[in-house]
Amino acid sequence: MQGETQRNEPADSTPWVITPGNHDGVHLGHRALLRTARRIADAHGFRVRALTFEPHPAALVDPKNAPEKITLQPRRAELLRGAGADSVFVQAFTAEFAAQSAEAFVDGLLAQHARALVVGPDFRFGKQRQGDVMLLRTLGEKHGFEVSIEEPVLQEGQRVSSSAIRNALREGDIAAANRMLCRFHEVSGTVVKGDQRGRTIGFPTANIAAEAVMPPTDGVYAVVARDLGASEREVFHGIANLGTRPTFGAGRSLEVYLFDFDRDIYGAQLRVGFVARIRGEQRFSGVAALKAQIERDCDQALQLLAARDKGLEAWI
């Protein structure tokens, strides 16, 4: 197997508890896997390794139906380490890798000195997903590694999954997505020059050339944001418009207005966390009507941000 691991990790002979999977979003279900892995590792003096795949397997075997990403790989690795992994191993999901047998997949894990695996009940592996948890346990008994099955996490009766988060984002239910993620859903990107219309009406915005992750549905949001290149970790509050700006007939964009902020951040990498949805996009009769609505949006955003879950903000 090939991939990227955390710097300064122990020697290759270190025994690992491995949690294999796509881990897209690093949601509550993934965190439950890591908690169990951590408990096993601490009891035996092992370390925890999250194994992820790049690209998503569906991008290779069924590209037309490949899901949109909730997190890109570098951020996913960062979140996995923050949730308890000592190391993150990125497996290139190639045609050759996809064609290997279930037994060959397990051989690859053993080559990483896996002493225990923590997976969900639906975990599948090997060519055409032929391997399941029953086979995994059989192979574990044969090769001497433990297999722990972590039951799905439920929230308000719904199973937490990357698919459920994507559905919530499509439906504009950012609150549900955030609860399942245990953080604010985020988009990062470079601040670029836009048409600067906001500046002319008293609301100068940062235009974000966003990364290729799934955004929430179009609309106006209360947001938190952080300049990833700043020397100090400082979180700012504001509102964001995501969509086509129908009043001006402009193209699709993500524009962020930060409260009490007057710095020049062109070229900066900004991470924007979506706290709450205020309204959908709408067309206004003119600039005066638009400005009045933005003022109302700001007032509502301030109320929503005051009531935010600060624990979720810690992940921005």
Instruction: Report the pLDDT value the prediction gives residue 19, as an integer from 0 to 100.
Output: 97
pLDDT digits (tens, 9 = 90+) for 29-71: 999 999 999 999 999 999 999 999 999 999 998 999 999 999 9
pLDDT digits (tens, 9 = 90+) for 82-134: 999 999 999 999 999 999 999 999 999 988 899 999 999 999 999 999 999 99
State the residue for tokens 């609301």. Answer: 203
| Residue 54: strand, helix, or coil | strand
Side chain identity at residue 215, one-letter code? P
Residue among 14, 4, 24, 17 nearest 181 (CA): 24
Q: What is the mean predicted confidence (pLDDT) over 153-173?
A: 95
pLDDT at 11 over 50: no
pLDDT digits (tens, 9 = 90+) for 175-193: 999 999 999 999 999 999 8
Instruction: Report the pLDDT value the prediction gives residue 6, as an integer from 0 to 100.
Output: 43
Instruction: Report the pLDDT value the prediction gives residue 97, as an integer from 0 to 100.
Output: 94
Domains defined for the chain, CATH in brackets = 16-151 (3.40.50.620), 185-313 (2.40.30.30)
What sign has the CA pseudo-torsion 181, 127, 47, 42?
positive
Two tokens at 81? 């380490």
pLDDT at 28 over 70: yes
State the residue for tokens 């090997």. Answer: 126
Instruction: Report the pLDDT value the prediction gives residue 10, as an integer from 0 to 100.
Output: 42
Band of residue 149 on the pLDDT scale cut at 50, 70, 90:
very high
Pick the range with the lowest mean pLDDT from 147-151, 193-197, 215-219, 259-263: 193-197
71-83 exposure pattern, b = at least 16 Cβ within 10 A, e = fewer: bebebbbebbbeb
